[in-house]
Every structure is written in C-alpha cells, then in structure tokens.
Amino acid sequence: MAENSTNVRTKMALWGVRAAARSLGAVAPGLAAEWSEQLFLTPQRPRRSRTAEAVLARGLPRVLRVEGEKVAVWSWGEGPRVLLVHGWSGYGGQLTAFVQPLVDAGFSVVTYDAPGHGASSGRTSSLPELAGMV
C-alpha cells in the first residue's frame, strides 16, 4: 500500500529536524538545546475552516488576560456550563460541531484558543500551561 503524501512529507520534515538537531548539537550544544526547546514549545497554527469561523461568529466573544497573554474565548447558550478544550496546535473552532447540539440540550458552551494557539496571543505554550487554563 502506498503511503499518504502527508505522511511522507511529515517523515521528511522530521528527518530534517533530527538531522539539523544532531548537526547543531555537535558544534553548539547550548544553541541546539535552545532551538529544540523553542521548537518543542511552539504550536503550529492550523488553517481555520469557514464553518468553524461561522459558528464562532455566532458566539459571544471575549478576551481574557491569563498570565500576561490575551486568550480568545467564545460562549453560547444558557444552563450548566460545558467547556470544550482543544489539543496541541489546535483551536477552539475545531470543536464547534459540538456547540449547537449541546446548546439544544440546554447547556452553556464555552471554548477558547489557548495561548500560542488560534486567535490568542503568544507564540509558545506548554502542556502545563494548557492544563492550567482549565
């Protein structure tokens, strides 16, 4: 079975990163460590879908300050609150398919873009930071 071209591109990109880290580490270990840390803590920003953007536009937008970063938050509906949390390199709009069914079931729905993700400020983040947001 032929490999999906996305998988091939991902493997090639990872090979390039590994080769660069090994080469840099051999001549400048401190710089290699800083570069690796920056790479590890920098989420990729995904393309935002038109469908998700339309659902976000119908929500109540807010911006919260969390540890010096501006965090984009959206909410819909009234009732017991449900928090939709995206994963690494994601954004709240990826979860918008859940919004209307939850609102129709009588819930208030909240989602956000974590720091360094989506419409929130910052370039880097970490899993402890994402966990702290909840």
pLDDT digit string, tens, across residues 104-119 = 999 999 999 999 888 9
What's phi and psi for 62, nearest 5 deg? -145, 160
φ and ψ at residue 19, rounded to 5 degrees:
-65, -45
pLDDT value at residue 112 = 95
Each residue of 50-90: pLDDT tens digit?
Answer: 999 999 999 999 999 988 889 999 999 999 999 999 988 88
Name 42's Cβ contacts closer than 8 Å, sequence gap at least 6.
Answer: 116, 123, 124
* 10-30 per-position pLDDT tens digit: 677 677 767 777 776 788 788
Q: Is 75 exposed, middle or buried (0-12, 13-18, 19+ CB in 10 A)?
A: middle
- Cβ-in-10-Å burial (0-12, 13-18, 19+) of 50 comes to exposed
Mean pLDDT, the chain, integer: 86
Strand ordering across the sheet containing 81-84: 60-66, 69-76, 108-112, 81-84
50-133 — its CATH code? 3.40.50.1820
The pTM is what? Answer: 0.75
Residue 114: which H helix or E strand, with range?
none
